[in-house]
């Protein structure tokens, strides 16, 4: 009951040639995020999983079934992989209504499933509408519902929320989490938003320069366990202000929280704006108060 | 950050609260921590750790007598004093380490702290953080 | 006189309609291939398809006529095994017209397909649909304006074609005499009244056709919203 990935692919990125080399085993049933900077190979990995991109070599196995094997010359086409894929641009078919888009996804007509999905995602009033008449958030819901219409074992979401504004994002993150609970499909989601990773996933795979740099629970991956501090946030240095004999460093965290930290010159000397930093303090310092 | 390197000499635990004694050369430091599973792997007697505390948590005393509850006391020699409007930075030698304290300028003046003075730097045990010694801390897991 | 006029218009219409139907059947797979294939020699095929756009009709007409001639292997084979002579026959100008109108059908279709997001095809595949299901249910319905444009351009271009039909088909009433040739013929005989009638019909048909196309395409944009 696992996804075994061991693939290599040479790819051309904006920074020149890059070797995608991924070797990992993921558990079925989880909501997994592929996290990393753009151009690191996250989307390519997702497309390889879907069968839309063929790796140069390696082996891909999902739930005991081989989907790709360069030695045995196996390459299952996307049609036979039993997946749901949600594209960044949603790829809703303009010639079909919401309902027809969902029905198209099914091999055998199953109206009860469509009604269930339409109810779950609150699409009832749009069911006869074509995609061009929907807002970004509504399109996203239709795309998610359509990806689930085939009852996929594996749901692949390519930066599903990147095109939406912040408030819309939060509510649709909940929608994805709910869909995962309700329909139980193993979900693989590409994201470069740390907040999203924390809100949604049980497991995160960090991809940098075509390889896996870290993998584990979001708490474990994003906090530094080699420090005994209990209060840790990761963020970016927004500014450093010299005041008196100390500096006030302003850090913006993954969840858009602003933290100000006093630091002496020795500590701020290696820092510049935009650097990723870990801010931590001990469990003894924070004061807690009911609000 | 003030950072000293030592070896864990003793660990005392009550529930999930731990009191860790660390030997830096012959000098004993104490750190009060809340234990968690992840740290248990490296928080063990005999392991090397960095003892870390923030400059603003270091109190200074001169000619201290009587009893005090602070566990970590370092007899230092003042190397340099940089006075600001409200805060001052006192740089001191402690064994082979440099300790920095940031205290109010008012206190620096009240204690008349000057270079080559003997002062005692003190840190509460619950302000001390332990870090796995950096060169052993692999970046990837 | 009038029956000859109607006969010529009928031949013209029959030629244009048959050419369009045949090209529709040939054009869809070729356009699909040209839009998506990664075949190395695709540019060669693209160039061949587009040749009629740049070559004078007389050049193509000449080559086709040479190919039809019983003195060459193709013409001889047609004549000996099938008993067909294509030169100066309706079938002959139909084939010529199909070849000559190739780019007018294929280019709009190919451009339409290329303008669709790549994700449409990929989405249909991940939804378990085969290439042909994807083509007929997703791609084709979403390039409707291109299909309409391709049909209209092909039809209108066939009606207006002159040089090739004249070379390959000559000017045989009821067989290969089409309206555009008739105009030339009537003008040569100083029969301006007749030339005028042909010209007006061609002008009207082309104008009406294009107006209908543009209004359908405009409507299509609004359809998509509903």
Report pLDDT digits (tens) over C85-128: 888 889 999 999 999 999 999 999 999 999 999 999 999 999 99
Predicted local distance difference test score (pLDDT) of residue B20:
92
A25 burial via Cβ count (<10 Å: 0-12, 13-18, 19+): exposed
CATH number at residue B102: 2.40.50.100
- Count of CB atoms situated within 10 Å of the CB of C188: 9
| Token reading at B86 | 């409200």
Find the domain containing C66 and state its range.
2-225
pTM: 0.71
Q: Is it the case that residue C1 has pLDDT exceeding 60?
A: no
Identify the three-state secondary structure at position B138. coil
| Res. B1 pLDDT band, cuts 50 70 90 | confident
Q: Which residues of B touch A (CB under 8 A)?
A: 1, 31-34, 36, 38-39, 42-43, 55-56, 82-89, 100, 102, 126-127, 129-132, 137, 140-141
Q: Which domains does chain A have, with CATH numbers?
A: 2-222 (3.40.50.300), 231-281 (2.40.50.100)
Over 70: is that where the pLDDT of C56 sits? yes
Distances (CA, A) of A176 to A140, A156, A184, A196, C181: 10, 11, 11, 11, 67
Q: Which long-range contacts (CB under 8 A, 24 or more apart) does C21-26 make?
A: C22/C94, C22/C98, C23/C98, C23/C101, C23/C102, C23/C105, C23/C154, C24/C105, C24/C150, C24/C151, C26/C98, C26/C102, C26/C105
Of A226, A267, A282, the CB nearest to B126: A282
Cβ of residue C226 closer than 8 Å to a chain A Cβ: yes
Tokens 């006391």 belong to residue: B73
Query: How many domains are contained in chain C?
Result: 1
Q: What is the pLDDT of residues B53-99, one digit of tens each?
A: 999 999 999 888 878 877 789 999 999 999 998 999 999 999 999 99
Q: Using CA atoms, how far apart are residues A285 and B114, in angstroms rounded to an integer?
A: 31
Q: Do chains A and B touch (3 or more CB pairs under 8 A)?
A: yes
A231-243/A276-281 β-pairing: antiparallel
Interface predicted TM-score (ipTM)? 0.81
- Residue B126 and residue A284: Cβ atoms within 8 Å? yes
pLDDT at A229: 60
Q: How far is CA B5 from CA B27, B51, B135, C4, in A?
A: 11, 6, 12, 109
Q: CATH number for the domain including C134?
A: 1.10.3720.10
Edge-to-edge strand ranges of the sheet holding A211-216: A74-75, A65-69, A57-62, A2-13, A16-27, A211-216, A203-208, A31-35, A186-191, A154-158, A83-86
For residue B21, the enclosing domain spans 2-136
| Token representation of residue C214 | 């543009």
Taking the Cβ of residue A146 and every Cβ of chain C, the question of whether any pair is shorter than 8 Å is answered with: yes
Q: Which two tokens stand for residue C57?
A: 């009709």
Q: Say how many domains are in chain B.
A: 1
Q: Encode pLDDT of B94-125 as tens digits.
A: 999 999 999 999 999 999 999 999 999 999 99
Q: Does A108 touch chain C (CB under 8 A)?
A: no
* Domain membership flag for residue B141: no
Q: Report strand pairing: A2-13 vs A186-191.
A: unpaired
Q: pLDDT tens across A157-202, in order?
A: 998 877 677 677 777 888 888 888 888 889 999 987 777 787 788 8
Alpha helices by DSSP H, chain A? 42-50, 98-104, 111-120, 136-148, 166-183, 194-200, 218-222, 265-268
Low-confidence ranges of chain A (pLDDT < 70): 163, 166, 223-230, 254-256
Q: Give the model's pLDDT for residue C220.
A: 65
User: Is B95 part of any domain?
Assistant: yes
Does chain B reach chain C with at least 3 CB pairs under 8 Å?
Answer: no
Q: Does the beta-carbon distance from A245 to B132 stay under 8 Å?
A: no
Task: Find, among C184, C208, C170, C165, the residue nearest to C15 by Cα.
Answer: C165
Beta-carbon separation of A132 and C119 below 8 A: no
- Closest C-alpha to C164, from C88, C84, C96: C96
């Amino acid at each position: 009951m696992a996804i075994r990935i061991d693939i290599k692919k040479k790819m051309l990125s904006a920074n020149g040639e890059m070797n995608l080399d991924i070797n990992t085993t993921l558990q079925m049933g989880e909501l997994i995020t592929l996290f990393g900077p753009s151009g690191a190979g996250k989307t390519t990995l997702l497309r390889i999983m879907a069968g839309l991109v063929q790796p140069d070599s390696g082996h891909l196995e999902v739930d005991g079934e081989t989907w790709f094997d360069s030695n045995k010359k196996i390459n299952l086409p996307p049609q036979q992989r039993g997946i749901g894929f949600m594209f960044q641009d949603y790829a809703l078919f303009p010639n079909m209504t919401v309902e027809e888009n969902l029905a198209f996804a099914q091999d055998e007509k199953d109206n009860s499933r469509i009604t269930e999905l339409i109810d779950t995602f609150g699409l009832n009033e749009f069911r006869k509408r074509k995609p061009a008449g929907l807002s970004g958030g509504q399109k996203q819901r239709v795309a998610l519902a359509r990806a689930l219409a085939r009852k996929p074992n594996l749901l692949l979401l390519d930066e599903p929320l990147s095109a939406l504004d912040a408030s819309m994002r939060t509510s649709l993150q909940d929608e994805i989490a709910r869909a995962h609970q309700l329909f139980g499909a193993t979900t693989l989601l590409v994201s470069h938003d740390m907040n999203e990773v924390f809100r949604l996933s049980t497991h995160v795979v960090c991809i940098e320069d075509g390889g896996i740099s870290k993998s584990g629970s979001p708490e474990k991956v994003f906090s530094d366990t080699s420090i005994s501090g209990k209060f840790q946030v990761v963020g970016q240095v927004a500014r450093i202000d010299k005041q008196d004999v100390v500096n006030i460093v302003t850090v913006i965290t993954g969840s858009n929280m602003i933290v100000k930290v006093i630091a002496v010159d020795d500590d701020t000397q290696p820092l510049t704006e935009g650097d990723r930093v870990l801010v931590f303090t001990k469990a003894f310092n924070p004061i807690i108060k009911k609000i | 950050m003030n950072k000293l390197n030592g070896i864990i000499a003793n660990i005392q635990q009550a529930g999930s609260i731990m009191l860790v004694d660390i030997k830096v050369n012959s000098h004993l430091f104490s750190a009060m921590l809340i234990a968690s599973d992840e740290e248990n792997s490296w928080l063990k007697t005999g392991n090397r750790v960095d003892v870390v505390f923030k400059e603003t948590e270091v109190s200074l005393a001169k000619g201290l007598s009587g009893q005090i509850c602070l566990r970590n006391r370092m007899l230092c020699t003042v190397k340099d004093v940089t006075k600001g409007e409200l805060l001052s930075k006192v740089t001191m030698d402690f064994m082979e380490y440099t300790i920095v304290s940031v205290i109010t300028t008012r206190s620096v003046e009240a204690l008349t702290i000057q270079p080559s003075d003997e002062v005692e730097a003190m840190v509460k045990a619950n302000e001390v953080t332990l870090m796995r010694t950096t060169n052993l801390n692999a970046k990837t897991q | 006189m009038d029956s000859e006029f109607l006969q010529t218009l009928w031949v013209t219409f029959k030629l244009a309609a048959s050419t369009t139907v045949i090209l529709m059947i040939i054009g869809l797979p070729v356009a699909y291939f040209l839009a998506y294939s990664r075949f190395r020699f695709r540019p060669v095929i693209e160039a061949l398809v587009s040749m009629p756009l740049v070559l004078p009709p007389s050049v193509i007409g000449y080559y086709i006529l040479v190919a039809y001639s019983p003195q060459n292997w193709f013409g001889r084979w047609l004549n000996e095994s099938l008993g067909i002579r294509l030169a100066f026959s309706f079938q002959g100008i139909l084939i010529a017209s199909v070849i000559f109108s190739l780019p007018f059908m294929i280019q709009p279709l190919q451009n339409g397909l290329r303008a669709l997001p790549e994700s449409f095809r990929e989405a249909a595949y991940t939804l378990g649909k085969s290439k042909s299901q994807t083509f007929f249910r997703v791609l084709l319905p979403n390039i409707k304006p291109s299909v309409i444009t391709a049909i209209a351009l092909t039809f209108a271009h066939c009606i207006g074609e002159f040089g090739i039909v004249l070379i390959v088909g000559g000017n045989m009433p009821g067989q290969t005499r089409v309206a555009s040739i008739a105009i030339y013929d009537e003008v040569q005989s100083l029969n301006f009244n007749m030339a005028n009638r042909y010209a007006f019909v061609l002008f009207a048909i082309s104008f009406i056709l294009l107006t209908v196309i543009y209004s359908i395409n405009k409507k299509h944009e609004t359809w998509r919203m509903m």
